[in-house]
Amino acid sequence: MSLVNQLIAAILVAMMGLAGGTIYIASDSSKRMLTNQLESHALDTATHLGLYLAPYIASRDAATVETTINAIFDSGFYQRIDVVTADGDMLFSKSTAPVIGNTVPQWFVDLVTLTPPAMTREVTYNWAKTGTIFVQGHPGYAYQAYWRVAKETLVWFLFLALVSTLAIGLVLRMILRPLKGVEDQAIALTRKQYIEQPRIPKTRELRRVVEAMNQMVRQVHQMFEEQSQNIEELRRQAYRDDLTGLPNPRATRAQLGERLDYRQDFGPCALLYVHIDNLQALNQSLGAEKTDNFIRLLAEQLNTTGIHAGDHVMGRLSGADFALLLKLPAPDQLQRIANGLLSSIDQDYQQLRQSEAQTKAPVCIGIALGNDQTGAAQLQSNARVAIEKAQQDENSRRVHQFQAPGDPQPIDESWHEHVSAAIENQQIFLQAQPVISADERQLHQEVFARILNRDNSPCSAGDFISVVRELGLMTDMDRAVVNHALHYLQQSPSDTALAINLSTESVSDPGFRQWLLERLTTLNERARLCVELNESSVLNNLAGIEGLRNALRTLGCHFGVDNFGVHPSGFGYLYTLQPDYIKIDGSLLHDIDSNAQDQFFVSSLVSVAHSLDIAAYAERVERTSQLTQLLRLKIDATQGYLHGAPKTLE
């Protein structure tokens, strides 16, 4: 029962006690008044009868006495009348049973005792006592009057009690409204949501409670923000280049390895290896400050090129080397990208030198092509060979592309048609990899979409995802994945759970989100489905994703954030979104068993997640030493080839 209802009940009980006492006092007063009236009426009757019947009593005329008393008795106001002579002989007596009648309930008669007083009057005639008259009134009139008063009092009490209860309830709810806000704050705080009450009540006690609660919410929020800032600073120091703000060499190589060696979902790609020739000489000619500015401008141009190109991996490989991994464009477009990048770098260099002459920057670009089978180390090696060729170029074109027999070629139209037909006809199949908890239970299996190539052999996501995006069929493919996953759940044992990873294109489409929610309503055991989104997808459309998250929570589905911890925008969104779990990106875990910085950073991420009641999972776990270290860092579950490669979902 709420506090308001308890107060109303307490007030109502007090009112009932007060009303009961009031009714008792009023009833007792009415009872005495009615008794006095009966006494007075009986005395008056005895007096009048004595005056009238005196000569008849003296002459012992019983007939006249009887006739007179019968006439009076028939009025119904008397229970007993006795006429006694002076000698004590009963001259006449008449009585009736004290029957109250149907106008007063019997339970009321049994509850209330009314005994009419018997009044006596001596009768004298010719200055001599001739007899005595006894008169006792009938209680029927008193009971009727008493019942009427009690009934009216009770009705008025109930009416006034109802009105008072409603009025008191309304007033109490208005006064105690801030407490409802405090309750909402406490509930929100358990969900790691920080809300403050803007309206401060005027009541002193309530004002202090609300102000204290607001202060606590601010302090908890500030603690989380400070924790997030500290971890962001740690990430910047561990994985960001101080001069350019790009990923440092260690982080760049880890991300290249994550996309090309582990996920193998990048597809045909081109690595642009940008090299500053003779950086030491440049530092001597321009000065340290201008050289640093030149490097920053080069990084900005590289970042701009990557953003325009779409999905990419970018970072600094050494003091003079930068890498930009792009989806493989057409050959002429790739050359335009490289030449345009060089042209922009030349302009920045000329402005720094403050020279009117056309001066080229000491920068060259090596290009290497690859695919899912190339590998990050091989691709970087080929790009460095291309850099050496570019430096030796007598025509000073400063751009060279490494040529190898196995270089991927632009996708032909027949492959486009094959991929399009497979997606439109939902001719896909699912592979799954388990997620294993710290106590070695399988929590769920993450599914991966696959199609058959033209030789009817399974091909990796990198072979067709870029084509699907180019054709604008990502939403259609996600629909097919959802349909296949739900069908599998309906046919599989009740302890099986699946996680599906939706694309940015799909979750940004309101139509797809509505279709997904409607489709999930047909699944009986929705708690067995997990929906995962890439961290970049979340941060690119946080408002829309928050609505989807709330709808999934209502349906009972789980929600997770994939590739967590590498986006430069941080993770302050967690307390707003409140996912059920996060999957820490594999690039942060490659050296977790040997690198103290990685261990401390991942431990901080796990701590942040646990402080928000969010489970923390680890991706790309391949070695037992990694698993041992992650378990020491309180990770909740792990996923990777250590637990098995993805297998076809039967």
What is the domain-level CATH number for residue 551?
A: 3.20.20.450
Backbone angles phi, psi at 331, to 5 degrees: -55, -45
The answer to the question of residue 120 being in a domain is yes
Evaluate whether residue 244 is within a structural domain.
no
Residue pair 483/426 in contact by the 8 Å Cβ criterion: yes
Residue 556 inside a domain? The answer is yes
Task: Find the domain containing 234 and state its range.
Answer: 179-239
Residue 372 belongs to some domain of the structure: yes
Give the pLDDT of residue 395. 63
422 and 455, same domain (yes or no): yes
Q: Is 240 helix (H, G, I), strand (E, B) or coil?
A: strand
* 633 in the same domain as 534: yes
- Co-location of 562 and 432 in the same domain: yes
- Residues 587/255, Cβ–Cβ less than 8 Å: yes
Together in a domain, 138 and 219? no
For residues 285 and 417, membership in a common domain is answered with: no
User: Does a structural domain hold residue 406?
Assistant: no
Same domain, residue pair 369 and 419: no
pLDDT beneath 50: ranges in the chain: none
What's the total number of domains in the chain?
4
Residue 407 is predicted with a pLDDT of 55
497 and 630 both lie in a single domain: yes
Angle (CA) 266-270-275 rounded to 5° is 130
CATH of the domain at 329: 3.30.70.270
What CATH number does residue 20 fall under?
3.30.450
Distance between CA atoms of 256 and 323, rounded to whole angstroms? Answer: 10
Q: Tell me the pTM.
A: 0.65
> Do 370 and 271 contact (CB within 8 A), yes or no?
yes
234 shares a domain with 92: no
475's tokens: 């939403």
**392/431 same-domain check:** no
Same domain, 156 and 209: no
Question: Where is the domain boundary, 401, 429, 448?
Answer: 401
588 and 644 together in one domain = yes
- 531 within some domain: yes
Domain end, chosen from 173, 192, 212, is at 173
The residues with which 274 forms a beta bridge, in sequence order, are: 322, 365
Query: Hey, CA dihedral for 334, 336, 337, 341, is it positive or negative?
Result: positive
Residue 370 belongs to some domain of the structure: yes
Buried b or exposed e, range 377-386, using 16+ CB within 10 angstroms: eebbebbbbb
Of 173, 207, 230, the domain-final residue = 173
**46 and 96 belong to one structural domain:** yes
Cβ–Cβ under 8 Å, residues 275 and 363:
yes
